[in-house]
Structure 1
Amino acid sequence: MAYRQQEAQKAFGQLGIRYNATYPKAAECLTKEKVETRAFHDFPAEHWTHI
């Protein structure tokens, strides 16, 4: 749960490294749509629980 766009980008990179070997399909699914997945960072943090 990153609070900034830069932290989210770093987390996505780590996700691919950490889980690609053991869960390749899950890692691909999560990283394939990373722009859409990180879209909630465009909204204020107070709204994240409602998204």
Structure 2
Amino acid sequence: MIILKRIALAVIMVAIVAMFGLFAWNFYQRYTASDQPPPVIYERSDRPSRA
């Protein structure tokens, strides 16, 4: 049972480190690009969608 707890803890730790790593990589890619990042387009919520 102790081994299962250690394996579960290791899997959770790897998942957290992977998410943090992907966030850092995305942040690095976005802010080291030579051009501006793409603008954020906000959808109006006071009208129905066109779909």
Instruction: Pick the TM interval, shorter chain.
Output: 0.3 to 0.5
Bigger relative contact order, structure 1 or 2 (CA pairs below 8 A, ≥6 apart): 1
Report the TM-score, using the length of structure 2 for normalisation: 0.33
Q: Which of the pair is proportionally richer in helix? A: 1
Higher radius of gyration, 1 or 2:
2
Report the TM-score, using the length of structure 1 for normalisation: 0.33
